[in-house]
Amino acid sequence: MPDMHMPTLSHARPIGSDAAVLAEITDVVRQVLQDRTIELAPATAMDDMAGWDSMNHIAILVEAECRFDVVFDLADVDAVPTVGHLVRLIQAKRSVVDRPLG
The domain ranges of the chain are 14-95
Taking residue 93's Cβ as centre, other Cβ atoms within 10 Å add up to 19
Q: Domain 14-95 adopts which CATH fold?
A: 1.10.1200
Which pLDDT band, with edges at 50, 70 and 90, does 92 fall under? Answer: very high
pTM of the predicted protein model: 0.78
Model confidence pLDDT, tens digit, residues 58-77: 999 999 999 999 999 988 88
The single-letter DSSP state of residue 41 is -
Q: What is the dihedral of CA 60, 95, 83, 17, to 10 degrees?
A: -110
